[in-house]
Amino acid sequence: MDTAESMVESLSNISDRCSQVSVVVVSVVTNHKLSSLSIISVHRGRKSIDCGVPTQGLDKDRVTGIFYASDDSSITTGVNFNVSEEYGYSTNLFLPYVLGDVRAFPQGSRNCYSLKPSKAKDNLYLIRASFMYGNYDGKNALPEFDLYLNVNFWSTVKFKNASDQVYKEILSFATSDTTYVCLVNKGKGTPFISGLELRPVNNTIYGTEYGRNVSLVLYQRWDIGYLNGTGRYQNDIYDRIWSPYTPVSWISTKTTEYLDIFQSGYRPPDEVIKTAASPKSGDGPLELVWTSEDPNARFYAFLYFAELEKLEKNDSRKINILWNGSPVSENSFIPSSKYSMTFSNSKAFTGKDHLISVQKTEDSTLPPILNAIEIFTAYSLDEFFTAIKDVNAIESIKATYKVNKIWSGDPCSPRLFPWEGIECVYSNPNYQIKSLNLSSSGIQGPIASAFRNLTLLESLDLSNNDLQQNVPEFLADLKHLKFLNLKGNNFTGFIPKSLMKKLKDGVLALSVDDQNLCNSSSCQDKNNMVVPIVVATSVIFLLVVLVIIWIILRQRKRGANSGPGPLLPTGKRRFTYNEVSSITKNFNKVIGKGAFGIVYLGSLEDGTEIAVKMIKDSSSTRPQGSSSSPAPKEFQVEAELLLTVHHRNIASFVGYCDDDRSMALIYEYMANGNLQDYLSSEKAEDLSWERRLHIAIDSAQGLEYLHNGCMPPIVHRDVKTANILLNDNLEAKIADFGVSKVFPEDDISPVETVVMGTPGYIDPE
């Protein structure tokens, strides 16, 4: 969010209600930007965006006094243009400020604005998009394109001429804190936009029988009886645009008396409710007629009434409202002279031809009146969104690799316009990604862990990039993966055995470079090499191993090296105390406490979050100043145990610290803490029985691995909910082996560690 938009949002947060607030802002004078002292009327959650303006400041519309921010923080695609001079301010001093420039989208089929008003979810918003072609591209070719709100169709944008000012309005409940406004190229010219406005609306008004399952697209909004005016008024808290409307067969009337507009949540502005019209014929009806191109369209009308005349003692004005000859409401009503009244149809008007008739009753002495009317078309919200875990995963991939594609809005929806390189599974209630093609996309670095969260992925093409390091084992955990292309990268090492097994079993089509693949024939060729070369290679390898061992023994001396700790044979690290202090930011954040000691949150150089368990009173276990005294028995056992354990349901061991100042064990960070705390928190209410069963299965698989997958087998000896950790996907992992029991391979003479911590469930074996 840029500075200007942050200012607008900060001002908006001053009001906790939708009531107006005046805020004084002091600013520097630049052209017609913020003047030295301005009174800004703001509402919480409002956004006013000038699309295509390059500045980062706030721009004031000289007519409405509304301040607009640049759209730079809401979108990353598109090109900025000014309208042609003949359509700009030089020829039209009252041109709305946002119509002087545009952001056009010559690339991509769908480009989306990402709008994030404060606390938007589940609240009703009026969203207005404004457009004026103004021959910005010098082609004199009027475009036509579609507009979508989130994943559902909103409207088609067309123009009568280059100076035509087009406004599209929609009322819709926000389904999340982010709202997408998308422009879709339908092959009839380049989409563009001039301005975007979001206005929070009272959640209790503009109701339909469909509830929140429809959006209301504005068909017409008329200020009846008023022939002049701007149509946009400061005391309209919803910032609606009212078009004057008075047919020649009607006569206008108005009042200057006070009318209470606060009785109703619709809150029509004074300028609108204090004018009205009645039929010149006296006894005739007020009729509004329109024809729909779509005979299945559903319309809702909201009619505003207030008595503007002082009635004589024997005068009365009683009104009926009819649609195509049928009463809209069961009873007639008398307009109030004290406050505004709003009537609407409870059931949608459907059909091609529509006639709303406002009539006097038989016992009424005065003709009918009408002050204002709004007509909307209801659009069903038929499209579904992409599953949030897939959205988070693909957004993380986009951010990690800075993907240079037009990826905006929902990844899978609408179905006709998924993100480039993405195919999806379209099943209710959420769509999921099944295919991802990032071939030749210029991405570099290791394969991001976010790929593992695309659980329905069937095809993954990462070929011809600059991906590095090892091919991760978690790719084999993608149960539905059938095609994997990793060719043309710079991976080190071989493909994991689990992936090779899938290839061998015929369930995965795998493409990799030769240096990463050791198949039977290539390995056989290597075995056919002459014996002297094999012997020489073995001797060189042995010498290298001896040198590495000598280096490791030297670096094990306490305090001998303040730099990064040596890599362990398993790829884990031994850390110095200074490194532990650095990665925990001087032991800044405590995330747990146990019998061993305190657990701190840390972060490695690559951003990986870790948990650092500092062993309690470890410094007292060795002579002062000694760097060679052995660590406590239980610490040595746990560290050595953890180096041999590798399983998806076992907390991964990152490394350890063992010097004269302290001892520590370092694990992967588990975002959701331990199961005991999770079940005791408010989050437990959202934990389904299916997820609880998965957690139990994960835990059982971890224990089964300790019993049968480790040599020698391991008995945990303290299985309890506090020792079951949950990652950000609520996958369970077994932790804390300081209370474990190790059996030698012959299953005789078991060697036990010292039992520490609170006794939990002990395996029956």
Question: How far, in Å, CA of 26 to CA of 40, rounded?
Answer: 11
DSSP class per residue in 165-182: -EEEEEEEE-SSS-EEEE
Q: To the nearest 10°, report the CA torsion of 203, 208, 209, 210.
A: -70
Q: Which runs of consecutive H residues, i.e. helices, occur in 479-576?
A: 497-504, 520-527, 531-555
Sheet with 192-193, edge to edge strand ranges: 79-82, 101-104, 192-193
The number of C-alpha atoms within 13 Å of 10 and in the hemisphere containing its C-beta is 10
Q: What is the DSSP letter of 374?
A: E
Q: Coil, helix or strand for 145?
A: strand
Ligand-binding annotation for 274, yes or no, is no
Element (DSSP H or E) covering residue 390 = helix 388-401
Q: Which residues are catalytic?
A: 718
Angle at alpha carbon of residue 683, lines to 681 and 689, rounded to 5°: 110
- Give the C-alpha distances (Å, rounded to integers) separating 516 from 77, 110, 441, 488: 38, 38, 21, 11
Q: How far is CA 407 from the centre of its chain?
A: 13
Query: Rg of the chain over CA atoms, in angstroms?
Result: 35
Question: How far, in Å, CA of 215 to CA of 208, rounded?
Answer: 10
As beta bridge partners, residue 307 has none
Tell which residue, 482, 403, 407, has the closest CA to residue 443: 403
SS3 string, 273-318, reads HCEEEEECCCCCCEEEEEECCCCCCEEEEEEEECCCCCCCCCCCCC
| Contact assessment for residue 627 and residue 559, using Cβ atoms and an 8 Å cutoff | yes
| CB neighbour list of residue 264: distance below 8 Å, 6 or more residues apart | 205, 339, 340, 341, 342
As beta bridge partners, residue 653 has 667
Q: Tell me what percent of the chain is helix, strand and coil, each rounded to the nearest 5.
A: 20, 30, 50
Question: Binding site residues, as ranges?
Answer: 613
Question: Binding site residues for ATP, as ranges?
Answer: 613
